[in-house]
Structure 1
Amino acid sequence: MSEMMEQWLTELLNVNDKEEAKMTEKQIKILKAAVEIFSEKGYAASSTSEIAQKAGVAEGTIFRHYKTKKDLLISIVAPTVSKLIAPFVLKDFNKVLEAPYPKYEDFLRAVIKNRMEFARNNLQILKILIQEIPFQPDLRENFKQSIGKQVLERITKVVERYQKEGTIISIPPLSVIRLSVSTIIGFFLARFILFPELDWDEELETELTIDFIMHGLSPRYE
């Protein structure tokens, strides 16, 4: 298990220690096993028998604590998004959002560099979110409320500032964010999820990604 995953689990257990119902030793083992297997295989391809075997407990033990496999995912992951995952996702990102970069492309470059380092260090956690958020409404709503709204409001103000300065075109700020974020996420998915085995020139790909975004957002094309 990676050092970052160990840190994440330690923080998760600390969160639960502060709740009224503390986790038992067997629940902790189930949690650790579930996180590893969900990250490696995805929720749909994982089985409670695999989780039980990895945790060193009987499969029936899982069902004594969690009625279904979905309950295991939701009861462990969803309640911790706002308390644990949100700080991880937003960690050091506020510095980027608050810095007065002279141009929008400078801001994009800082965002990519900052979030790429985060993705590299927290890949297992991000895999669970990427794999499950589209298919788990409860988890998706929790993520939106805990992280999405905070980031969206901050980035909207950043985009509006560059639009007032005339460095990017005057279209709805949400459209600017959608076009920028979808391109950057596409780069990250290819780099870390789809084709991690390729020999990536991250600096070159970063600049190509920024050039592609700015080609569409530059005022000279209005």
Structure 2
Amino acid sequence: MSEIEPWLTELLRLNDEEEKMTDKQIKIVQAAVEIFSEKGFAGSSTSEIAQKAGVAEGTIFRHYKTKKELLLSIVAPMMTKLIAPFAVKDFTKVLEADYPSVESFLRAVTLNRLEFARKHFPIIKIFIHEIPFHNELREQFKEKVAVQVLEKAYKAIRHFQEHGQIIDLPPPAALRMIISTIMGFLITRFLLIPDGEWQEEKEVDYTINFILYGLTPRP
């Protein structure tokens, strides 16, 4: 089983709620996910997608008017029906749980996002590639994920600041530093060096310790 097949299965389920995909459409979507994930939207062509899918290029345009429509037909339902609900519902549970320390909070957040990335990275990779260039994806992300998650994250940060476990930074600044460190780990793990000999438990520890203490030796 290739790494995108779970995504294809899920996408078929989501689309079947509205319109059943044909066999050729399934092949087109599977080929598009592989090529968009590998080369990005700008570096891909419909002729290349058609060749990989084993269909005529005109077949793509019978289902999708443009290459961008094909991209959005893959990413949009994933964002609105799968990624957003999962991210918000699942991540909200993590953010709203009661933790005895900021370290336990950071560990829960890091492990949660690690498993999320492991399960969903092929489409996440496309989304990371394309969100800077497609306003529709940015707006979907802000509306479906960011707005619903940010305030809960700020609340958790303020809680630990009140208990003296996080320094007195504006919560958006503190969250930005936390996110950038965790995302750096995940992007390296799944995108830059996916075949490395990863010891994930240790890497999670390194990530958390860096957020807590930076590079300064502890006394």
TM-score by length of 1: 0.85
Q: Distance in 2 between matches of 1:190 and 1:18?
A: 35
**Deviation for aligned residue 1:177:** 0.5
Deviates more, 1:102-111 or 1:113-122: 113-122
What is the match of residue 86 of structure 1? 84
User: Is the Cα–Cα contact under 8 Å of residues 75 and 127 in structure 2 kept in the other structure?
Assistant: no
Alignment equivalent of 1:67, drawn from 53, 65, 68: 65
AA partner of residue 116 (structure 1): L
AA partner of residue 2 (structure 2): S
1:171 maps onto 2:188 in alignment = no
Pairs within 5 Å for 1:15-164? 15-19=14-18, 22-90=20-88, 92-164=90-162
Q: Distance in 2 between matches of 1:210 and 1:76?
A: 34
The alignment partner of 1:199 has SS state of coil
**Deviation for aligned residue 1:196:** 2.4
Deviations 1:86-136 (A, max 9, x none): 234446433322321111121111111121122122221221111111222
Q: Distance in 2 between matches of 1:210 and 1:84?
A: 28
Q: Distance in 2 between matches of 1:191 and 1:91?
A: 24
**Deviation for aligned residue 1:198:** 2.8
Q: Distance in 2 between matches of 1:77 and 1:121?
A: 15
Q: Distance in 2 between matches of 1:166 and 1:184?
A: 22
Question: For structure 2, which runs of at least 5 residues remain unmatched after alignment?
Answer: 215-219
**Deviation for aligned residue 1:81:** 1.1
**Deviation for aligned residue 1:195:** 1.9
The alignment partner of 1:57 has SS state of coil
> How many pairs align?
214
Identical-residue share of aligned pairs (%) = 63
Question: For structure 1, which runs of at least 5 residues remain unmatched after alignment?
Answer: 217-222
TM-score by length of 2: 0.86
Q: Distance in 1 between matches of 2:210 and 2:100?
A: 19
Instruction: Note closer, same or farther for the CA distance 1:88–1:32 as it changes in structure 2 (3 Å cut).
Output: farther
Instruction: Note closer, same or farther for the CA distance 1:58–1:182 as it changes in structure 2 (3 Å cut).
Output: same
What is the match of residue 205 of structure 2? 207
AA partner of residue 2 (structure 1): S
Q: Distance in 1 between matches of 2:37 and 2:87?
A: 17
AA partner of residue 6 (structure 1): E
User: Is the Cα–Cα contact under 8 Å of residues 82 and 147 in structure 1 kept in the other structure?
Assistant: no
Deviations 1:145-185 (A, max 9, x none): 11122221221111111112221122211111001101111
AA partner of residue 97 (structure 1): L
**Deviation for aligned residue 1:142:** 0.8
Q: Distance in 1 between matches of 2:147 and 2:205?
A: 28
